Structures are given as structure tokens and as C-alpha cells.
Amino acid sequence: MIGIFDSGVGGMTVARAVETLLPGNQIIYYGDLARTPYGSKSPEAIIEYSIANTEFLIEHGAGIIIIACNSAASVASDILRRKFAVPIFEVITPAVERAVSSTVSGNIGVIGTRATIRSTIYEQKIKQQAPEFRVFSKACPLLVPLVEEGWLNARETKMILRKYLTPLKHKQIDTLVLGCTHYPLLKDLIGHRMGKSRVRLIDSSIEVGLTLQKYLTAKPAIHETIQRGNENKYFVSDMTKAAAATAEQIFGRHIDLIKV
């Protein structure tokens, strides 16, 4: 089973990408809705929650873990890799690799929650691969609540995006990393604001799915040990109508959430 965890249901954009790119592999998802969002919590709290989430997924049969939450990936992935034996993927590295390979100008933008941006993880990882590149980051704490409000095409959302994105536009970036799993739901508005022909948007959910696909193709023995099946399971630590609605919006169909 492929285990995926997130602070909420936003990480289901990763589950959807894995479902599309790796059909026939069973997914087990854990959304920590009881403590969502992670983006405003301290690194210590996020690390504690990430360990508990990983333990839950492994106990329930996961042989591979994907950290689908950027805030968790930015502060907890190294610790989880040291602590657990299973392969651990996260949404940051694949997005960084795609951004580095696709930029022409070397000016890369990154947007995310406050915790993700404050961690400077994207900047560090991009500079490791290409020290000469320039990284421009912007925390956008209102985008997750706007998505959860369902204002995916509202005038207010457009105005707030303008406020957040204009400083990045002035930096002449040609690549923008969507450093939060909720942001793909605003892809069209973000693309419109940045100029679709000028700026390439990197969707971390799709990139981690592609990375996992490549990994499992290269390691058929590991792929064998991951139990196959089609009964994907979506666990949540709290149940709300808003979460169920966002899950449905992401998949375009009804999703049974199981409260644990």
C-alpha cells in the first residue's frame, strides 16, 4: 500500500495524481483534520504529528510513505527518514527538480504557507542544485482558507492573488512552484495572474506522482512488496462537511472518509 498523509484533505491532490499515474496500487490516506492546519504550527508540533501519522500508516500496511503536506515535508522529512525503514517521498524535492530543470532565466518563485516559506526549504534545495539561481518566496496564508471557502473564482480571491503575486511578477520569474497542495485548485487564476505563456507553474502533487512512478518502475522488487488492490482508504482524524466537500471537489466524485 502507498501511504499518504497530510494535515487535511488538500493532500488528496497527491492521492489523485498517484491514482492517475499508478493505477491498481492501493492507497491509504490519513488526513489530520483534528489538528489542521499545520502551516501555522511550530516545527516541534509538526514533527510530533508527522511521526504519529507515519506510524498510523505503517501499522495499517503502508510500504511507502508520501508526505503530502508541504509544512510537514519542510520540517519533518529528514527525521522521518531516520526513524522509519520504509521509503519516504515528499512533495518538495520532485517540485524542486522540475523547477530547476525547466527554468531558463534562473529566476524561480515559490509560494506556500507561512511555515513552509519560513523554513526556506525550497530555497535551500534549489540552491543546492543550482547555486547561481535566484529564488523569490512569498507566504500566502489566505489561499488555503479561500479554497476551503470555495471561492475558487471569486473577485476577492483574484484581488488577494494580485496582492500576493505582484511582487513575484516584478522579479521576472519564469517558473513558479505551487508549494502547497491546496494551490492546484487555484491553478487557472494563478496562471492568469502570472501570465500563462511567461511563467510555468510547478504542481507538486503531479511531480511527486511522477517521481514515485519512476522509482517503482526502476525497483520492481519493491513494487511487488507493495500490496496491490483498488480499495483505496481515506482516514481522517476529524470529520466535517467542509472537508468532505473539498475531497469531492478534488476527485470530482464522492469520497468515503473514515473517521479514526
Residues contributing to the site for a second copy (CB under 8 A): 33-36, 40-42, 44-45, 114, 141-142, 145-146, 148-149, 154-156, 159-160, 163, 238-240, 242
Residue among 86 and 244 whose Cβ is closer to a second copy: 244
Residue among 126 and 143 whose Cβ is closer to a second copy: 143
C-alpha cell at 111: 509560494
The minimum distance between CB 154 and a second copy, in angstroms, equals 8
Residue among 45 and 58 whose Cβ is closer to a second copy: 45
Catalytic residue among 1, 15, 69, 139: 69
The minimum distance between CB 31 and a second copy, in angstroms, equals 13
Contact 73, 95 (CB under 8 A): no
Catalytic residue among 4, 27, 143, 180: 180
Residue among 41 and 98 whose Cβ is closer to a second copy: 41
- Helix H segments across the chain? 12-21, 43-59, 70-83, 92-102, 114-119, 121-129, 143-149, 155-169, 187-194, 204-218, 220-225, 241-251
Contact 180, 112 (CB under 8 A): yes
Contact 4, 27 (CB under 8 A): yes
- The alpha carbon of 165 is separated from its chain's Cα centroid by a whole number of angstroms, namely 19
Q: What is the CA radius of gyration of the chain?
A: 17
The minimum distance between CB 102 and a second copy, in angstroms, equals 31
69 classed as catalytic: yes
Whole-angstrom distance, CA of residue 72 vs CA of residue 58: 17
140 classed as catalytic: no
The minimum distance between CB 111 and a second copy, in angstroms, equals 14
Residues belonging to the active site: 69, 180
